[in-house]
Each structure stands twice: as structure tokens, then as C-alpha cells.
Structure 1
Amino acid sequence: MTGIHKHSESRGFTLLEVMVVLFVIGLITSLVTFNSSDRKAQDDTQKFGKQLAVVMNLYRDEAVYRNLDLGLAMDVNELLLLAFQDVRRLEVSTGKSSDELQKLADNPWQPYASETLKAPAVPEGMALMLTLDGKEVDFEDLLDDDDKPLPALEFLSADEYTPFELTLEHSSDTSFAILLHGDGFNPVWSELVRYED
């Protein structure tokens, strides 16, 4: 009996096949990296939005319990907590020079020093947009001069505050925004809003 032996050739991968596999792996890796970076931007912005809502509610409480009016000055990427200094009140005017009293008379909103309450730093890559009464606030005049910061929002000792909507956006992902809402009486709350492409 004659046996026919088939000789099988060992065949390797062609260069084209190797390149296609590497391309697919690279594509998948870049998609995973892109999605995780988008998710990080959203997570960071949500975290800051919740932190800011908590801090604003603490400002409300501080204003009521300390019987003072607080204000929050802001621009696109900075926040500053202020307190109203009424020069007619004895505890404010006592021990101050006439120049200091004149400065307070010109702008009674002064930075508020507190061990427990500080305005949080706006993380890099995030921007703020404030809307009052349906109109976007021009931040240019609020923190323009160190001597005369003005509040965009006020938290009053009567447990009321300026109704507002604050939008937080992240520069690396424009598919979402975090909105902080305040109606002037109830606690400040936040929500995630997604934009369609």
C-alpha cells in the first residue's frame, strides 16, 4: 500500500494581518481611554457641583445663625465669600480709622474670614455661568477690583437667598453640564444635564 503523505506547510501571519490586528487593538484602546477621560470630567464636575451645593447651604445656615448677610462673589473660575459690614453698627465701626470707615461705606461687602467656611476653589478645566432672573450675569464687575468685590448671590440672615441657576461645565467634555438651582428659600440642589450631539 502506498501511502500518500500530505505535507502540510506551516504558514505564519502576513505583515498585513499583523498590522490589521495592531490597528484594531489601538482603536479599541483609544476608545476606552477616551471614554474613561470623559467619565472622569463628568465625575469631577458632579463632585464639585455637589460640594458647591453643600457649601451654599452652609452659607445659608451661617447667615441665619450668626445674624449676618453673606455674599458670594464669582467669576468664570473663582469664588469669594463676602460679609456685609454695616458701618452704622457699633461692633463694625469701633476701632476703625476714618479711611477704613470710608472704604466700608464705599463697599460694605468685605471678604469673610471663617475657620470653617471658605469658598471652594474652582477646579482646573471647569467654568461657571450664573443666571439670575433668566439673564446671564456678566462677571466682569464682580471680582474686577480687589478693593471692591461685589456679591453675585446674597445669603441673608432672614433665611432667604438670591434665586439663581449656576451652570458648571468642563472644558474636556461639552456633552454635559451640572446645574445648581436655588429658589431663594429651599436648599440648593444640583442635577446633571446631558446635551445631544
Structure 2
Amino acid sequence: MHSAKVKTASRGFTLMEIMLVLVLIGSMATLVLKTLPSSSRELSQESDRLAVALHWAAQQAELDGKIYGLSVSPHQWQLMTLNSQPHNRGESYLWPNHYWHPVSVGKLKQQRQLPDSLTLTLALQDQPIPLNTLQNDTLIDEPKIIFFPGGERSHFELTLSDLEGQTRTLTEHGVQAESETSDALIPPHSASAGTPAA
């Protein structure tokens, strides 16, 4: 008797098998993303929001020919503009007869209350600046970071940190993660004083 050898042709995966593998991979990726710490996501989102607001203020100062500033406290920030019209928050202590007004334009958030897990710190000219924690105090309304019409701006380091010790630092040159640097979001210019816009 002769034994017959049966040859089976090798074949690839079926479409159903490939789709099943893709569904399993997608499900596992979703589970991994959901387990990432939410504070890391918040830190990234809030620093991106703040970077967009700073970039907008720098550009707007040049386009409008006005002085813009960022008022900062440990848990909130607000964009403001300087002009000579009186405002109920009082006169600027840096520019007599001029007043800071909150900026309100379109859908861009011009003011932000940070989540409880995040804190802002500020350094100007490499010197730490104590931030006012009293939200009703008028000093919170006097911006510490200034953008002038000629493109000059304050030399600053604004650091956003979470409870786990992760930080993102925004400077006049852009945003930095703990040890990595992203593209500059705020076009660099040298810092110098200017005159207020009327």
C-alpha cells in the first residue's frame, strides 16, 4: 500500500480574523488611555490653553498697537489690555492715568480658573514673583506679564504644576515640558519697556 501525502496549500488570514485582531488592539488601547493619570491630561490641556492665550496677546498687541498683559494668581489667569479709560478696578500702579481692562473677544478664553490639582508659579527676569492668592484684591488685576505693541515682552517663566510634581513651563519663547521643548508658540522678541496706548 502506498500512503498518499496530502498537501495543504498555505493561505493567509481571513478578513474576519484581521478585523477581530484590530478590534482587540483598539479595545486594549482604549483601556490604556483611560488609565493614564487625568492630572497629566489636565496639565497638558491647561498649558496649551495658556500658551494659545499668550500667543494671541503677543500678536494682538502688535496688530492693535495696544499693551496687553496677563494677570496671574496661583489658580487662575486673565488677559487684560491697558488704556486711558477709567475702570472700577483702579488705576495701574505702573502707568499713571491708565487702567487695565479684562479682554473679552469671541470664543477664545480670556480668563481661566484652573482645576484644583494645578498651580501656577511665576518668575520674571529669573526672579520668583509671589502671586496674590486673594481673588478679590485689585493687585490680581495688575498684569505681571506684559506684551508691547513693538513686539517687546516681559522675560518670564510661567510654570504650571500638578500634584504629582509634573510641570510645564511657558516662557516668552514657547512651552517646555519637564525636559522636552516644543516648537515656540510665542514669537521671540527682546524685553523692554514701552509706553501705554491711549
Partner of 1:61: 59
Q: Secondary structure at the match of 2:49?
A: helix
1:179 and 2:165 matched = no
Is residue 2:153 matched to residue 1:161?
A: yes
Whether 1:50 and 2:48 are equivalent positions in the alignment is yes
Shift of 1:190: 2.9
SS of residue matched to 1:56: helix
Alignment gaps of 5+ in structure 1: 1-31
Cα shift at 1:135: 1.2
Larger % of helix: which?
A: 1
- Cα deviation, residue 192, structure 1: 3.0
Change (3 A) 1:189 1:79: same
CA offsets per residue over residues 91-114 of structure 1, 9 Å max, x none? x4xxx7xx97x8575662222232
- Secondary structure, counterpart of 2:132 in structure 1: helix
Residue 61 of structure 1: CA displacement?
0.9
Q: CA deviation at 1:36?
A: 3.2
Partner of 1:75: 73
SS at match of 1:54: helix
Alignment check: 8 A CA contact 1:142 1:150 kept: no
Q: Tell me by how many angstroms 1:55 deviates.
A: 1.6
Identity of aligned residues (%): 17
CA contact (8 A) 1:132 1:164 kept: yes
AA at the equivalent of 2:170:
L
Q: Distance in 2 between matches of 1:148 and 1:110?
A: 12
In the alignment, residue 175 of structure 2 is paired with which amino acid?
Answer: W
Gaps of 5+ in 2: 1-30, 181-198
1:139 equivalent to 2:138? Answer no
Find the aligned partners of 1:76 and 1:103 in 2 and give their Cα distance.
23
Deviates more, 1:149-158 or 1:138-147: 138-147
Q: What amino acid is aligned across from residue 161 of structure 1 in structure 2?
A: R
List 4+ stretches of structure 1 deviating above 4 A: 102-107, 141-144
CA distance in 2, matches of 1:192, 1:107: 38
**Cα shift at 1:64:** 1.1
1:9 is aligned to none
Task: Report the counterpart of residue 122 of structure 1 in structure 2.
Answer: 114
Are 1:73 and 1:142, in contact at CA under 8 Å, matched by a contact in 2? Answer: no
Alignment match, 1:109: 100
Alpha carbons 1:72, 1:151 under 8 Å: kept: yes
Q: Deviations over 1:107-163 (max 9, x none)?
A: 622222322441333223100001111211111289662487211100111112111
Give TM-score scaled by structure 1 length. Answer: 0.61
Taking the aligned partners of 1:161 and 1:154, their CA distance within structure 2 comes to: 6
Matched residue type, 1:190? Q
- Aligned residue number for residue 192 of structure 1: 178
TM-score of the superposed pair, with normalisation by structure 2: 0.61
